[in-house]
Amino acid sequence: MDLKKTTQPLMAAFSCLLIAAGMLSSSMARGEIALTPKWTERYLFKHNPNLVQNTHLDQVLSFYYFGSYQDFTIMGMERVKGDDYHQYNTVLIFKDSVLQGYYEELAVFPAGVSEQGQVKFPANNDVIDNIDLGQGYYPAMVFVRDKKLNPETHAVSEFVSLVEGVEGKDKT
């Protein structure tokens, strides 16, 4: 029996195990957390209970993942309330698993995040000015179609900041 042939597969398996353990521990050391809808729900109940106040009365409470850019993650919370089933959409902006702020009562949820960090919305739901995560730009959200149909009474959703130094603002 050749001892070298027997130990080579074991050495290879051990090397793979060390590499995997190293990758796992380095991501844990950096504090990386996989933001999921379930994690987001727990986070809000623990850290921002005002956003989920009275959810036991809601017809529906759902959470969605819309994408990420660098250390940012975009999540959504849908609440359907009342006998008329009125829908309330909130977009949540996380950085390094800490909620930076949110937009309440958006007419439409995002479709994703571009490679440059801009939050995209579905076709025919363009916004006048777009969220730019890379630039830290959080404008008031106004949908083009809504403003065209309701020039005087169109909906506006302002960014609500929860972190000092992160505010809704202009690109200037």
**Which are the contacts of 169, defined by CB distance < 8 A and separation ≥ 6?**
137, 138, 139
Residues 86 and 59 in one domain: yes
Residue range of the domain that includes 105:
37-161
**Which are the contacts of 115, defined by CB distance < 8 A and separation ≥ 6?**
69
Strand, coil or helix: 97: coil
Domains identified in the chain, total number: 2
Residues 68 and 152 in one domain: yes
Question: For position 169, what pLDDT does the model report?
Answer: 59
B/e letters for 158-167, b = 16+ CB within 10 Å, e = fewer, are ebebeeeeee
Residues 41 and 75 in one domain: yes
Residues 132 and 47 in one domain: yes
Read off the amino acid at residue 140. Answer: A
Name the more confident of 19 and 4: 4
Residues 68 and 108 in one domain: yes
Name the more confident of 30 and 49: 49
Name the more confident of 157 and 69: 69
Residue at 120 is within a domain: yes
Residue at 172 is within a domain: no
| pLDDT one-digit tens code per residue, 96-149 | 999 999 999 898 999 999 999 999 999 888 888 999 999 999 999 988 888 888
Six token digits for residue 159:
């960014």
Residues 103 and 122 in one domain: yes
What is the radius of gyration, based on Cα positions, of the chain? 22
Question: For position 157, what pLDDT does the model report?
Answer: 87
Name the more confident of 5 and 150: 150
Question: Is the pLDDT reported for residue 22 higher than 80?
Answer: no
Residues 141 and 68 in one domain: yes
Name the more confident of 154 and 33: 154
| pTM beyond cutoff 0.85 | no
| pLDDT one-digit tens code per residue, 42-93 | 999 999 888 888 877 778 889 999 999 999 999 999 988 878 888 889 999 9
Residue at 168 is within a domain: no
Six token digits for residue 7:
């130990």
